[in-house]
Structure 1
Amino acid sequence: MEMFFCSSHFPQPSQNPSNLLLLSGPPSSGKTSLLFQFAFNVALHSHNVIFISNRQRLDSKPPFLSQGIDPSSHVFHRIQMKYVNDDEDIRKYFAAFHLYDKLPAAVLIDDFGDFFDDKICQQRYSNPRGRDMAMVKTLALCHNAITFANQKGSCKVLLSDTHTHQRDSPRFHFIYKKWIQTTFTIQEGDASGSFILKDKSHSPTDHNTAVIKAAKYSIALQYLVFEGIVEDEVQ
């Protein structure tokens, strides 16, 4: 969880053994900013990072950085922006993963679910569940690429998605559950612009109430502001 915030708050980040991760949250909850801070923290340790996004969407809503990070830092040179238009572009990228001379330490895909247009996917697969089929195919290809990459080194894929918080969320949860090992969820905090980030992979499997750690943050004055670790009850 500490990888989503300025490293000065967490001097020695812990290593999450999962290679496929999901950041799930409602619209306008700072997912792009959290993803970009994650990318910066990975690049901070001299690793190359690929940040995949839709260019028009990113230009209209650029990510906010944590206070104290120099926008001209050389660290940003290790973050390669890759702009794609749809799910086919994402599959092409991962299909060629084994051909790259140097593999990234992390691949981040912003608003993953938005790349799958329902109508286009239905027409492509001649199936009313075309979007689900396209997502499964893409996640399977992603899984194979990352498995290959981790035979040579260390590589993680982090996706963000809003659809898991909308009306078709059960379908998205079902698809992601098969492929994603670790899920971080965002919920609104007790004040406007305040949010709580939880690591759902650490939630208890029984029905007893337990307390887990969660990170409280806000988006204020065009900054991603970490407000501290809070305890959260999970049923």
Structure 2
Amino acid sequence: MVERFFFHGGDGGGEERMMVLLGPSESGKTSLLFQFAFNCALRSREDVVFICNRRRIESKPPCLFQGIDPSSEVFRRIRMKYIEDDEAIKKYFAAFHLLTNFPAAVIIDDFGDFFDERRCQQRYRNHRGRDMAMVRTLSLASDAISHANSRLAEPCRLLLADNPRQQFIYNLWISCTFSITTASEEGDGSSSFVLTKSSGRKRAAVYSTALQYLVLQRVTEGEDEEDLRLTVKTDDGE
């Protein structure tokens, strides 16, 4: 359900074990990921691992729902792991089976950005080296998450975020895709976005990151995405 990215204490993930969130830059992907992490940590006894680039997230921190206490104990169970490249991701998942306690979720922001095209081409001596590196890392991650879930009563989930250009790669490994499109642009430079799930029940969430908060405007069911974008523009007076 799209609600898992919003509601304070909402469902931590449903049945899916591997998910990807695809959307353009400046569409609030990091905020959605962090709210998802908070919800998972709130509902689970285990920690949540949030993997990202430190400089990027510190320069533009994620937005959360208004009313969430920044000093909440829940944040202590979101463990930030700062990395610089894809090798660090591979090392993490290669040693995943050695963990004493598996996390409730592993979340990786801007997954594709960790794969430098030139370095990957040199490593694999192939012009499609970056694609090859991403596929191999996704395979390793899939094995690690499957291993954890074979030993847990509660699920261990993997959630990645990236831009839509890499969807063909994710389709090989991940059956659950969430997509973000722009719904409307406001006069103050802020935007509203539509979050939809690729399969299952047709539901969409319209949201924004106005005033440094993640704001859920409404959740709809059964509407065509193009009709929904037109409706949002009309509601906003455009």
Q: TM-score, normalised by structure 2?
A: 0.87
Residues 29 and 186 in structure 1, CA contact (< 8 A), matched pair in contact too: yes
Quick one: percent identity of the two aligned structures?
55
Partner of 2:159: 158
Which residue, 195, 204, 220 being the options, matches 2:210?
220
Which residue, 195, 200, 224 being the options, matches 2:198?
200
1:233 matched to 2:234: no
Q: CA RMSD in A?
A: 1.5
Partner of 1:125: 124
Which residue, 170, 173, 176 being the options, matches 1:179?
173
Q: How does 1:40-51 map to 2 (within 5 A)?
A: 40-45=38-43, 46-51=45-50
1:190 matched to 2:181: no
Alpha-carbon distance in 2 for matches of 1:49, 1:14 = 11
Q: Give the C-alpha shift of residue 230 in structure 1.
A: 2.1
Residues 141-171 of structure 1, C-alpha deviation per residue, up to 9 Å, x if partnerless? 0000000000111100000002x1xxxx2xx
Residues 19 and 181 in structure 1, CA contact (< 8 A), matched pair in contact too: no
How many residue pairs get aligned? The number is 217
Moved more, 215-224 or 190-199: 190-199
Q: TM-score, normalised by structure 1?
A: 0.88
1:213 partner letter: R
Instruction: Note the residue ranges of structure 1 that are not aligned, 5 or more in a row.
Output: 204-211
Alpha-carbon distance in 1 for matches of 2:198, 2:132 = 25
Three-state SS of the structure 2 residue aligned to 1:178 is coil
Partner of 1:99: 98
Partner of 1:31: 29
Instruction: Note the residue ranges of structure 2 that are not aligned, 5 or more in a row.
Output: 227-238
Q: 1:15 to 1:25 in 2, by over 3 A?
A: closer
1:188 partner letter: T
Three-state SS of the structure 2 residue aligned to 1:190 is strand
Alpha-carbon distance in 1 for matches of 2:35, 2:13 = 16
2:220 partner letter: V
2:19 partner letter: L
1:19 matched to 2:17: yes
Q: 1:222 to 1:94 in 2, by over 3 A?
A: same
1:55 partner letter: R
Q: 1:52 to 1:191 in 2, by over 3 A?
A: same
Residues 116-164 of structure 1, C-alpha deviation per residue, up to 9 Å, x if partnerless? 11011001111111001100000000000000000111100000002x1
Partner of 1:206: none
Q: Give the C-alpha shift of residue 173 in structure 1.
A: 2.1
